[in-house]
Amino acid sequence: MEFTVIICTYNRAANLPRCLEALAAQQGVEGRDWEVLVVDNNSSDETPQVVADLAKKLPIKIRYARETEQGLNYARNTGIRESSSTWFSYVDDDILVSRIWLASLLDAFEANDADAVGGRIHLDPSVVLPKWIRPDTDMMGFLGYQDFGDEPQRLDGRQRYPFGGNMAFHRRVVDRIGYFNPKLGRKGAGRKRSELFKGAETDYFHRLAASGEVRIFYAPNAIVYHQVMPFQLEKRYFRTIHFNAGYQRAFHDDKAYANRWFGVPRFYFAQLGRGIGKYLAQAITKGPDWAFRQQMNLAHMIGTMLGYRAAGVDNK
C-alpha cells in the first residue's frame, strides 16, 4: 500500500458520505495503490453501518477501525498502527478534498523526498462569517483556514507547518519521533470546554523540527474545504479555544519561576491588567466586535494563570 487517508471521526456519521464521496472522485491517481481508513473514536451513532455501506457503494478501498479511548490523538495513533503504507494523511470528517488533492500530495512527496506535506485549507464557500471574525487578523486560522500562497515551498515546522485538517507524513517520521501525544488535542465532539483542546499537530511538528534535518513541504494544489459547524462560529468557541490553549501550555510548563503569587508567575498579573486596559480602550473606541480579538487574548491569559494554579495544586 502506497498511501492511507486516515479519517478520525466521533458521532458525525452524517458527515461521512460527502467526505468519502469527495475522496472517491480523486483524479490523477489511477494505478496508485491507496486506501481510506476510518477510525471511529468510540461513536455511539450509526458510524459503523455508514462506513460499511459506503465501502460497498464507492469505488475505492475503505476500511474501518475502532478506538475506544476518547481523544483525537488516540484515534490518530490508531490510524498509524492500523495502516502500513509508505505515506499517510489525516483528513477531518468535515473536510471535502479537491479532485487533485491526493495526486498533489503524492507529487510533493516524490519530488522532494518529503517527511511531511500539507496543503491549503479553505472554508467551504457556503460559510458566512460573522462580522467579528476580522479578515485582517489570524482569526480564520482558528477555523482551520490555512493558505501560504500559490507557490510550493519548504516549511520550517516551527513557525510554519501544516494544520491538522490537511497534513500528511512519510512513515519514517513515526520511526523518528514516535506517535502523537494523547494528552493533547480534542476530546469528544469539541463542544464543551473540557473537550476543546487544540495544539496536537503543533506539538508533533515542533518535535519533528527539533529532531534534526527535516523536509516539510507545502503543496498549494492540495486544497481541501472545511465545512464549519454552526457552533464554531460563536464567540464562546473562540474564547474557549484560547482559554484552553493557555491552560494546557501552563499546566505542562516545567520551568522554574522564582516569584509566584498563588502558584502563578507574578508578571502575569501585570500582563492581565494591561490586557484588560487594552480591551476596554478598543471596545470604547472601535466597538466590542472589533475588540473581540483582544478578548480572546484575555481568555488565553486567564487560562494560563489558572493552568499554573492547577499545576501547583496538583504538585503539592
Question: How far is it, in rounded angstroms, from Cα 1 to Cα 109?
Answer: 15
Q: Specify whether the CB–CB gap between 17 and 54 falls below 8 A.
A: yes
Q: Residues near 271 by Cβ (< 8 Å), separated by ≥ 6?
A: 301
**C-alpha 84: how far from chain center:** 23
Q: Specify whether the CB–CB gap between 137 and 264 falls below 8 A.
A: no
Amino acid found at 140: M
Handedness of CA 166, 194, 181, 46 (dihedral sign): negative
Tens-place pLDDT, residues 197-214: 556 788 899 999 999 999
Question: How far is it, in rounded angstroms, from Cα 32 to Cα 3?
Answer: 8
Q: Residues near 297 by Cβ (< 8 Å), separated by ≥ 6?
A: 242, 275, 279
Q: Three-state SS for 225? A: strand
Question: How far is it, in rounded angstroms, from Cα 236 to Cα 41?
Answer: 25
Q: Specify whether the CB–CB gap between 108 and 25 falls below 8 A.
A: no
Q: Specify whether the CB–CB gap between 37 and 19 falls below 8 A.
A: no
Average pLDDT for 220-241: 93
> Does residue 190 surpass a pLDDT of 80?
no
> Could you tell me the pTM of the whole model?
0.86
Question: How far is it, in rounded angstroms, from Cα 12 to Cα 94?
Answer: 9
Q: How close are the terminal C-alpha atoms of the chain, in Å?
A: 50
- With cell 456519521, the residue in question is 13
Angle separating helix axes 267-286 and 292-314, nearest 10 degrees: 160
Tens-place pLDDT, residues 115-174: 999 999 999 998 999 999 998 899 999 899 999 999 999 999 999 999 999 999 999 999
Percentage of the residues of the chain whose pLDDT score is greater than 70: 94
pLDDT of 185: 64
